[in-house]
Structure 1
Amino acid sequence: MVEVEKTAKTVQEAVNLALAELNVSREDVDVEVLEEPSRGIFGLIGTRPARVRVKVKNTAASRLRKLLDDILAAMHLQAEIFIKEENDCLAVSMFGKDLGTLIGRRGETMDALQYLLNLAVNKNQEKRYKIFLDIEGYRKKREETLQKLALKLAEKARQRGRNVVLEPMSSLERRIIHTALQGISDIATYSEGEEPYRKIIIAPKK
């Protein structure tokens, strides 16, 4: 368990110092007050600061944050990390400079990192969490790009009267394409091939 001790004029100030050093939120820690602050005689002699011990709870969110902190430190990167827990899911958003290397070509590095985080955080745990990782809002931007691409290629298939074959995509990205075109009556979509080379076919209905 990660813990630090801090001193400050007040208990709250000491706790805030610890939270900043640990890079966690208040709900992620247990706080033990070791010494209450004392003003001493006449507020001058024997003044004693507050001293606290702050321990990070062993939660899925804290394990996840620790892993991400270690990865960023090893790569000499800095980022703000936001973790939102909802039911059995942990949604992670990261923002910072030079994070493109963590995203990779078309999000491939980010997808691989997400996979590894799921394995590491859930290892030997009774309760399992599904972890979703997004960096610099990439997934939303990619979704919008794929939706536009789907409509453009559907029109191409319609005009040429023959199938359009897309390059291999992840299951998540294929789902975006299918969803974008499912309401178009004269266009059908289906997938073929084996992972990781499975691809979508956009076909005009005859």
Structure 2
Amino acid sequence: MKKIVASGKTIEEAVRNGLAELQVTEERVNVTVIEQPSRGLFGLIGTREAKVELELLPEPVDPVVETEQFLHEVAEAMGLQVDINRQTNREGVQLAISGTGDIGMLIGRRGQTLDALQYLANIVANRHSDSFVRIVLDAEDFRERRRKTLVELSDRLAGRVIRSKQEVVLEPMTAQDRKIIHYQLQNHPKVKTYSKGDEPNRRIVITPR
């Protein structure tokens, strides 16, 4: 990192002089006092100025830009050329991946690869950030297509439970998929849902009320 030594009649003045030389604000530097000012005999002879060392800190990195760069590198390593569209909403920062080639490689079976990438993307986004940034990752509208599939599945299985008066146990699902089904049936007048088991084999049970 770049370092300079600046001087002034007071420490504050020395810091201001150093900031002016670097053309940055105080948030961009670490300041170390090298020498305290002293007044000398009669305030004239032997007067010594304050000296400070200013160390320039690295340029702050936009966590979302860094995350996008990470995703481009992952895609490139898989032989894919992708575009990433960014949108911000109440859920966080949504990064939608599209491109040419087999984008399904980034999605995986039932979105497992996409979920793993989303986990890594959140680590990258927050490793240098003072405030938490939530990254929601999608590819070729997989999340919406998956949501619609699970909503239809929920309604169909709820109907089966009502007719048979027997509970239905679903196959293991990710937490995100389970959340969709719980939400879809939470206000259903005739069935209710709960989860059982441990990850990664945790599953939903739909049962009559």
Give the alignment's TM-score, normalised by structure 1: 0.69
| Contact map agreement 1:88 1:129 (CA 8 A) in 2 | no
- The equivalences for 1:47-66 within 5 A come to 58-66=61-69
> Given the superposition, is the C-alpha separation of residues 160 and 88 from structure 1 closer, same or farther in structure 2, using an over 3 Å criterion?
closer
The structure 1 residue matched to 2:134, chosen from 130, 134, 137, is: 130
Give SS of 2:158's match: helix
Deviation at 1:100, TM superposition (A): 0.2
State the alpha-carbon separation in 2 of the partners of residues 149 and 181 from structure 1. 11
Q: Does 1:78 align with 2:81?
A: yes
CA RMSD of aligned residues (A): 1.7
User: 1:145 is paired with a residue of what secondary structure?
Assistant: helix
Report the counterpart of residue 206 of structure 2 in structure 1.
Answer: 202
Quick one: distance in 2 between partners of 1:57 and 1:71?
Answer: 23
State how far apart, in whole Å, the 1-side matches of 2:91 and 2:188 are.
Answer: 34
In 1, the alpha carbon distance for the partners of 2:90 and 2:204 equals 32
Deviations 1:52-95 (A, max 9, x none): xxxx9720121011101111111110111112245782210011
Question: CA separation in 1, counterparts of 2:72 and 2:175?
Answer: 28
Provide closer, same or farther for how the CA distance between residues 76 and 57 of structure 1 changes in structure 2, counting only shifts above 3 A: farther
- 2:122 maps to 118
Correspondence 1:44-193 to 2 at 5 A:
58-86=61-89, 89-97=92-100, 98-193=102-197
Tell me the amino acid that sits aligned with residue 163 of structure 2: Q
Q: 1 CA distance for matches of 2:159 and 2:135?
A: 36
Structure 1: gaps spanning 5 or more residues? 1-55
Q: Residues of 2 paired with 1:87 and 1:161: CA distance?
A: 39
TM-score by length of 2: 0.68
Mapping 1:1-12, distance limit 5 Å: none
Kindly state the Cα deviation for residue 162 of structure 1 after the two structures are TM-superposed.
0.6
Equivalents in 1 of 2:201, 2:65: separation in Å?
35
How many residues end up aligned between the 2 structures? Answer: 150
Work out the CA distance in 2 between the residues paired with 1:95 and 1:88: 20
Query: Do the aligned residues in 1 keep the contact of 2:63 with 2:128 (CA within 8 Å)?
Result: no
For 1:112, what is the secondary structure of its paired residue?
Answer: helix
Shift of 1:155: 0.8
Letter in 1 for 2:77: A
> Structure 1 residue runs of 4+, over 6 Å off?
none
Q: Percent identity?
A: 38
Unaligned runs of 5+ in 2: 1-58
Q: Note if contact 1:82-1:94 (Cα within 8 Å) is conserved in structure 2.
A: yes
Larger Rg: 2
Amino acid at match of 1:173: D
